[in-house]
Amino acid sequence: DAGVIQSPRHEVTEMGQEVTLRCKPISGHNSLFWYRQTMMRGLELLIYFNNNVPIDDSGMPEDRFSAKMPNASFSTLKIQPSEPRDSAVYFCASRIEVFLASETEAFFGQGTRLTVV
């Protein structure tokens, strides 16, 4: 398996533009996570899905951020409109979650480095 695939790897956009980040989880994984990493705040969980359903979106900073998972093999994180303070590395991760099973590893993509100017 190729692992978690994120695109694009780098994105530079102007303030006010819409940005869409994409993620393809590992096949067979039923949980998907979006994280944001900045120097100031470290790693923050934005949202996670289980079986394509958003379970916890309390980390989504504001209404400008939205995430979807239309099927088990694809998710998007959208920022509209983007602002300079959204500049960060955005990671997608996936894992298999099995009820009452022992802990399974979360696999991370290589991230999308977003710069909003």
Partner 1 sequence: GDSVTQMEGPVTLSEEAFLTINCTYTATGYPSLFWYVQYPGEGLQLLLKATKADDKGSNKGFEATYRKETTSFHLEKGSVQVSDSAVYFCALKGRASGSRLTFGEGTQLTVNP
Residue recorded with tokens 């694809």: 74
Tokens standing for residue 28: 């067979």
Q: Shortest distance, CB of residue 109 to partner 1, whole angstroms?
A: 5
What b/e string do you get for 23-44 counting C-beta neighbours within 10 Å, with b at 16 or more?
A: bbbbeebebbbbbbeeeeeeee
Residue 111 makes contact with partner 1 by CB under 8 A: yes
Nearer to partner 1, 83 or 95 (CB): 95
Interacting residues with partner 1 between 18 and 37 (CB under 8 A): 31, 33
Nearer to partner 1, 44 or 81 (CB): 44
Q: How far is CA 101 from CA 17, 55, 56, 93, in A?
A: 43, 19, 21, 19
Residues that bind partner 1 (CB under 8 A): 4, 31, 33, 42-43, 45, 48, 50, 55-56, 91, 93, 95, 97, 102-103, 105-106, 108-111
